[in-house]
Amino acid sequence: MKILYTTHNVFLSSTLKNNLVVPKNFKKLPFDKIKNGVLGKKYELSIVLVGKYRIKNLNKIYRQKEVGTDILSFPLSKENGEIFINPQVAKIKAKKFEFTYENYLLFLVIHGLFHLKGLKHSARMERYELTHYSRYRHRYL
């Protein structure tokens, strides 16, 4: 596992053999600020970039779905959670949703944070996501 970013309560790592799929701008995002805006300062977050087989296996074990995905979020407690992102799938989906790759990765992190907060897919969740996304997209990407 390679550590890409770490602060007091945010840990970004990668299990990918080839980190070329992770844009440099993504590693420079203010993960603390983004996380604090959704979950608060005390929340401890781990973001792990994983390959397609690992995320498919996690999806099968924890959601009983035998498909790959771009993101999975797991709340571990009220103040601790993990987000798993598959950059390869994210790159494909970015084109589908007409995002740049970097912007879509930012959106996925925000999306995962709102799931950790307990929100389900809804118009309300989308409004919150877009508000946070627009706040950071212009500033950092």
67-119 pLDDT per residue, tens: 989 999 999 999 999 999 999 999 999 999 999 999 999 999 999 999 999 99
**Cα angle: 22, vertex 25, 31; to 5 degrees:** 95
In order of their start, the domains of the chain are 2-140 (3.40.390.30)
Structural tokens at position 110: 């925000």
- How much is the pTM? 0.91
The span from the CA of 47 to the CA of 67, in Å, is 20
CA dihedral over 117, 26, 5, 56, signed as positive or negative = positive
Structural tokens at position 10: 């945010």
Annotated binding-site positions: 111, 115, 121
Annotated binding-site positions for Zn(2+): 111, 115, 121
State the Rg of the chain over Cα.
Answer: 14
